[in-house]
């Protein structure tokens, strides 16, 4: 089931994104949906991996493990959103 989502984005960014979508033969909605799916899936996988690493080693302090989801988000933002 689909639902409507309202976003506030800079006008220039929207226009550039629309051109990108057109060149990819996709809708902007499809591109954003796929991005969000990838972001959520990657986060779930990273959390599972993080937990497995902690469980395998008593010497790892969980507070010292970097937030991989934040690192991934920054990477994807830089890759797909050109500000």
Q: What confidence tens digit (pLDDT) does each residue in 10-68 have?
A: 999 999 999 999 999 999 999 998 888 887 776 666 766 667 766 666 666 767 777 78
Residues near 16 by beta carbon (within 8 Å), at least 6 away in sequence: 82
Instruction: Quote the tokens at residue 76.
Output: 């994807």
Query: pTM for this one?
Result: 0.50
pLDDT of residue 66: 76
Positive or negative: CA dihedral 67, 79, 42, 15: positive
């Amino acid at each position: 089931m689909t639902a409507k989502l309202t976003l506030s984005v800079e006008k220039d960014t929207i226009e550039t994104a629309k051109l990108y979508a057109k060149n990819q033969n996709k809708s902007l909605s499809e591109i954003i949906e796929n991005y969000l799916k990838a972001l959520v899936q990657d986060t779930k996988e990273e959390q599972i991996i993080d937990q497995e690493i902690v469980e395998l080693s008593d010497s790892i302090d969980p507070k010292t493990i970097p937030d991989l989801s934040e690192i991934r988000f920054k990477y994807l933002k830089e890759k797909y959103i050109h500000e």
